[in-house]
Amino acid sequence: MKISGLKTFLIPTTVSDSEWALGKAFLLIKVETDSGLSGWGEAYVPHDCEHVIDALIRAMARYLEGTDPLKIEKFRHNALNAFANLQAGFHLSCAIAGIEMALWDITGIAMEQPVYRLLDSPCRTQVPVYANCHSNKERSLDEIVVYTKTQYADGFRMVKVYPFLNGRTVEQGLNDVKTLRQTLGPNCSILIDAWRALDYDSAILACAGLEELGVEWLEDPMPLDDLKALSRITSETSLSIVTGETLSTETEFELLLQKNAANILNPDIACCGLSQIQSIAANARARSCQMAIHNFNSMGPALAASLHIAAVIPNLAAVEYFPRFKTASEQFCDLHWQHGEDWAFDLCRSPGLGVTIDESALTHFEYQLGPMRSWPA
């Protein structure tokens, strides 16, 4: 079996627009073989960068034709060494991860096994997920309370919110979290994402207040350009410090571990790829560090890949789920994974990733640029 072709499909931001938030572009990849088998993957696309990553995928496509799709590690090695000359960078990492995902799908289908069984023996029967409740439209506290309560009522037992954005002070953010805590009750875990909006001093204040409110998770308290400060925060709080969504290589995550700058690593499935995340998880486990799978992608191929890798990681914290992308994803993807009342996903028995993509639906989406974001004066 040899790779005979590769297709990319850009899904415009309008498809995932909702009353709660503006949409995000998705980028899907189909790898075809001369045997008739095909596999689907998905590349992470930062805002306004979908054409860049699409071009990188198509640039690699001619090198894949005629190669064995089952030799996934060889593909990664060649992509990083022969194609990138060891100058990959974040965007090329996303392109490589998307293609690799499709190769895992083909391999699982060819071997009639779900991908997690090819990665390792599963260490759990259900994969926990949390609901990301972020909106890129400015929202009042009352609106955030209603949205998070809706996710909890729908079965999510962990919700993630962003109380320190839009110029809010630490005190204002903590008051918002206190209101959420009182509203949601003790059985719902509240995860906090600062989205790199704090510095060391304000992060320490935030940690103290969040500890009093029973919060256990603080994601990206500050930028990763000061690992010394991030390490101090990690050592001075009982909260789990979570970071890594802006990183794309095993070496970068190893540096986080060496600096003791996190309790939970947070690589994106469609940027780092299944193979690399498995290796990162092993390194993290050796240092008593957990793994959370970042997934700011469709709730289709990328979610399925996240669930597969999560099934075999002993040191898993949770997988990210975006409720606001569910309706959009269902327009082109049938996810074979089933979740229970608490939104933990049972292991899928379908071969490959466990997704069915309606290619005809993808061809009907009319691409247009997303709305311009604010550009500081």
The 3-class secondary structure across 226-252, one letter per residue, is: CHHHHHHHHHHCCCEEEECCCCCCHHH
Specify whether 107 is located in the same domain as 239: no
Distance between CA atoms of residues 302 and 269, nearest Å? 7
Q: Which of 112, 146, 170 is the last residue of a domain?
A: 112
Specify whether 47 is located in the same domain as 185: no
Distance between CA atoms of residues 286 and 228, nearest Å? 21
Total of domains in the chain: 2
Calculate the alpha carbon distances from 315 to 32, 258, 290, 304, 328 in Å.
34, 18, 5, 19, 31
Specify whether 171 is located in the same domain as 318: yes
Neighbours of 59 (CB within 10 A): 12
Contact 271, 90 (CB under 8 A): yes
Q: Which of 60, 84, 112 is the last residue of a domain?
A: 112
Q: Tell me: the pLDDT tens digits for 105-132? A: 999 999 999 999 999 999 999 999 999 9
Residue 202, H or E segment: helix 200-212
How is residue 227 written in tokens?
A: 């690992």
Specify whether 107 is located in the same domain as 123: no
How confident is the model at residue 297, as a pLDDT? 98
Q: Which amino acid does the sequence have at 118?
A: L
Specify whether 75 is located in the same domain as 207: no
Domain region containing 29: 3-112
How confident is the model at residue 376, as a pLDDT? 83
How confident is the model at residue 289, as a pLDDT? 98
> Does some domain include residue 359?
no
How is residue 210 written in tokens?
A: 């969040």
Specify whether 152 is located in the same domain as 260: yes
Specify whether 244 is located in the same domain as 328: yes
Distance between CA atoms of residues 205 and 233, nearest Å? 10
Ramachandran class of 36: left when φ > 0, alpha when ψ lies in -120 to 50, beta otherwise: left
pLDDT tens per residue, the chain (377 residues)? 999 999 999 999 999 999 999 999 999 999 999 999 999 999 999 999 999 999 999 999 999 999 999 999 999 999 999 999 989 999 999 999 999 999 999 999 999 999 999 999 999 999 999 999 999 999 999 999 999 999 999 999 999 999 999 999 999 999 999 999 999 999 999 999 999 999 999 999 999 999 999 999 999 999 999 999 999 999 999 999 999 999 999 999 999 999 999 999 999 999 999 999 999 999 999 999 999 999 999 999 999 999 999 999 999 999 999 999 999 999 999 999 999 999 999 999 999 999 999 999 999 999 988 889 888 88
Q: Which amino acid does the sequence have at 207?
A: C
Ordered DSSP codes for 268-323: BHHHH-HHHHHHHHHHHHHTT-EEEEB--S-TTHHHHHHHHHHHH-TTEEEEEE-G
How confident is the model at residue 308, as a pLDDT? 98
Specify whether 164 is located in the same domain as 287: yes
Distance between CA atoms of residues 38 and 304, nearest Å? 16
Specify whether 182 is located in the same domain as 46: no
Distance between CA atoms of residues 44 and 320, nearest Å? 14
**Phi and psi for 370 in degrees, rounded to 5?**
-70, 165
Residue 78, H or E segment: helix 72-78
How confident is the model at residue 242, as a pLDDT? 98
